[in-house]
Structure 1
C-alpha cells in the first residue's frame, strides 16, 4: 500500500506538470517532445524512488541521476517556464541516492540553480520565491514518501524474519531436547539389550535384571519424549500474555490484554498459555495483523480465552485451522478437549479472526459440598 501511494502521488505530480505544458500553447511537435521528456523523467524518478526496495531487481547506477539532471535542466532552453516543476524531483533523487554529506549540499545547489534559471526567464521576485518554496516542498514530499515506503517494506520484512526466527528457535529447542534427554537413554538401552542378549543362554537371572533395567530406562525415555513433545509444561497464562504483549509491541502491533481468570490450576494454566502461544505463532505466520486483543474470563468453572486480530483481510486468506490440516491447531484442539473444553476459530462479522478456547476446571471442594447439599 505504501508503495502504491508513493507511485500514485508521483504520477499525480507529473500529471500537474503535463497540464502546465498543455497550457503553454506549444507547437505540436514541441509539445509531443515535451511529453516524451516528461515520461522519461517520470520513469527515472520512479526508478530512484524505489531504488532501495525489492520492487526492482537491481539498484540504479549513479549515472541515472546525471541523466535526470540533463532531463531537468536541458528542456528549459526551449520550454521555459512550462518546465518549472521538474527541479524538485531531481532534488528528491539527490537525497535518495547520495550520502547525506554530499546530498544536502547538492540539494541546496540545485535550488539555487533553479532560482538562477527562473530569474533568467524574466519573472518577478515574488514568482522566484514561490518557485523556490514549491521546489523545496516537492523535493521533500517525494523524498519523504519514498523513504516511508522503503521503511514500511523493511519493517514488514523484519516482522516476517522474526516469525521465521521464532520457528527456527523452536525447532532448535526440539532438536536440543531430543539430543539431551533421549541420547543417553537410547544409548543405554542399546548397550543393555546387547548385554542381555549375550547373558540369556548362560546367566538368565542376570539377563532378567538387565531386562528390568531396560524396561525402567525405556519408561523414562517415553516420559522424556512426552516432555519434549509438549514442551510447555508449567507455563503461566499471565506470564505468556505479558511476554506476548512486549513482543507484539516491538513488532508494531497494538495489543490489548485483559485477563480476569483468577488463579488457575497448573494444568489449565499451561493449556491456556499454550493456546495463546500457538495462536500468536499462527497469526505471525499467516496474517499481517495491526491490532490484537487477548481476553480471558472465568464464569464458575468455565474459563474462556479469546485471541482476536484484524490481519485476515490484509492477506486475503484465513489463518490455518484444524480443518486445513494444521497440526498445531489440531494438537491444541486435542489438549483443550482433554480438559472438557473446545477450541473454535472463526471470522467475525467485523472481519476480525477469533481463536477461542474454553475449558472446564476441576470442581473445587466448596463446589462439591454445594452440589452434595443440593442433592441432599
Structure 2
C-alpha cells in the first residue's frame, strides 16, 4: 500500500509541475566559459573573430531555445533557420579552434532536442555526435572524442525526453478532464432520457384529457368528470413512476454510491481507494451518507486536480464516519460552519452540512496534511436520522407528524 501511495504521489507531483521554460536552458551557456577564458588569455588565434563567434553562438542559441519552446510547439521557419545557423557556427568554431570549443556540440544537440522531437531527431543527433567525435579525435585525441561524442548524444536525447514527458502529461490531463466531462454529460443525458420516457407520453395524455374536459364540461358534466378522473389516475401513475426513478438517483444505497464514485474517479484518471467496515446501516443513514459520497466525489473530480482519492466508511461506537481525502490542490476550512472556498465546494457542501446537522450529525472540511482536501461526515447510528436522504432536511418538518403520508400525494400536496 505504501509503494502504491508513493507512486501516486510521484505521478501527482509530475503532473503539477510546469514544463521548463527558455530560462531553464540558458545557464548551459556557461559551458562556454572555457572558450571565453581562452580568448581573454590570448590563447585563441584571431581573438576578435573568436569573440564574435561566441557572441553569435549565444544569440543564436537563445533565439533557438525561445522559438522552440513557443506554446504553439511547432518549429517555425525562423526557428529552423536559427538552428541551422547554430549548427553551421558550431562546426566552424569546433574545426577552427577545437579544444574547449568542442563543447558547442552538446549545446547544439540540446537546442536540437528542443526544436526537433520527431523522427528526424535521431539522425541529427547521430550526425552531431559522430562529427563531434571525429573532430575531437582529429584535433585532440581518442579519449576526448568518446567523451564529447557521448555528451553530444545524451544532451539532445535527455532534453527531448523531458519535454516529451511534459507534453504527454498535458495531453493526459486534458484527456482526464474530457473523460470527467463526458461522464457527467452521460449521466445528464440518461436522466433527461428517463424523464422524457416517463413524462412524454403521460403529459400528452393529460393535455388531451384536459382539452376533453374543457369541451365536455358545458354540455356533458358526467363525461367531463370521467375525463377528469382519468387525468387524476394518469397523474398518480406518473407520480409513482417519478418516485421510482428519483429513488434511483437520490436515495441509492451507500454501496451503490460508492460503486458510482469509484467508476467516476477511474473515468477521470484518479486513483480510487474505497474502504468500508462495520455492520449494515439503517436505510436513512445509508441514503444520507450516499449524498455525502456523491457531493464529495463530484468536488474531487471537478475542482481538485487530484491524482488519488481515498474514501473510507467505518463505524465507531454509536456513530458512523465517512471520510473523503484527496491529494489535490484545494484548501478548505476546518469545519462546516466556516465558509468553504469557492471552487472546491460552493453551496453543495453547505446544504449537505445542514442536512447532516438536521440528522444529528456533523460535517468537517479542511486541508489534508501538506496538500489535498479532506471531507469528514459523522452520523449517529440509531436509525432515526431526521433527513430521509433526499435532501429535504427540515423543510418538511411540519409534515412529519403525519408519517406515512406521501408528500407527493395529489391531495393536499405542497408545491415547491
Pick the TM interval, shorter chain: 0.7 to 0.9
Give the corresponding residue for 2:161: 144
State the alpha-carbon separation in 2 of the partners of residues 189 and 45 from structure 1: 70
Equivalent pair of 2:132/2:145 in contact (CA under 8 Å): no
Post-superposition shift, 1:205?
Answer: 2.0
Residue from 359, 367, 375 that aligns with 2:379: 359
Work out the number of aligned pairs and report it: 352
List gaps (5 residues or longer) in structure 2: 1-15, 41-46, 333-339, 385-416
Equivalent pair of 2:105/2:132 in contact (CA under 8 Å): yes
- C-alpha spacing 1:180/1:23, structure 2 compared with 1 (3 Å): farther
Give the corresponding residue for 2:301: 284
State the alpha-carbon separation in 1 of the partners of residues 297 and 142 from structure 2: 61
- C-alpha spacing 1:320/1:40, structure 2 compared with 1 (3 Å): same
State the alpha-carbon separation in 1 of the partners of residues 249 and 61 from structure 2: 58
Residue from 49, 64, 67 that aligns with 2:82: 67
| Partner SS state of residue 292, structure 1 | strand
1:1-376 residue pairs with structure 2 within 5 A? 2-5=17-20, 7=22, 9-14=24-29, 16-25=30-39, 27=47, 30-31=50-51, 34-48=54-68, 50=69, 56-57=71-72, 59-61=74-76, 64-65=79-80, 67-78=82-93, 80-81=97-98, 82-91=100-109, 93=112, 97=116, 99-100=118-119, 102-120=120-138, 122-225=139-242, 232-233=249-250, 235-242=252-259, 244-245=261-262, 248=265, 253-313=270-330, 318=341, 320=343, 324=346, 326=347, 328-330=348-350, 332-333=352-353, 336=356, 339-348=359-368, 350-363=370-383
Post-superposition shift, 1:260?
Answer: 1.3
- C-alpha spacing 1:22/1:351, structure 2 compared with 1 (3 Å): same
Question: Which 4+ runs in 1 deviate beyond 6 A?
Answer: none
State the alpha-carbon separation in 2 of the partners of residues 244 and 62 from structure 1: 49
Give the corresponding residue for 1:368: none
- C-alpha spacing 1:45/1:227, structure 2 compared with 1 (3 Å): farther
> How large is the Cα RMSD of the aligned pairs?
3.5
Post-superposition shift, 1:224?
Answer: 4.8
Equivalent pair of 2:269/2:307 in contact (CA under 8 Å): yes
State the alpha-carbon separation in 2 of the partners of residues 194 and 123 from structure 1: 102
- C-alpha spacing 1:130/1:297, structure 2 compared with 1 (3 Å): same
TM-score by length of 1: 0.78
TM-score by length of 2: 0.72
List gaps (5 residues or longer) in structure 1: 365-376
State the alpha-carbon separation in 1 of the partners of residues 234 and 350 from structure 2: 30
Equivalent pair of 1:10/1:142 in contact (CA under 8 Å): no
State the alpha-carbon separation in 2 of the partners of residues 9 and 250 from structure 1: 35
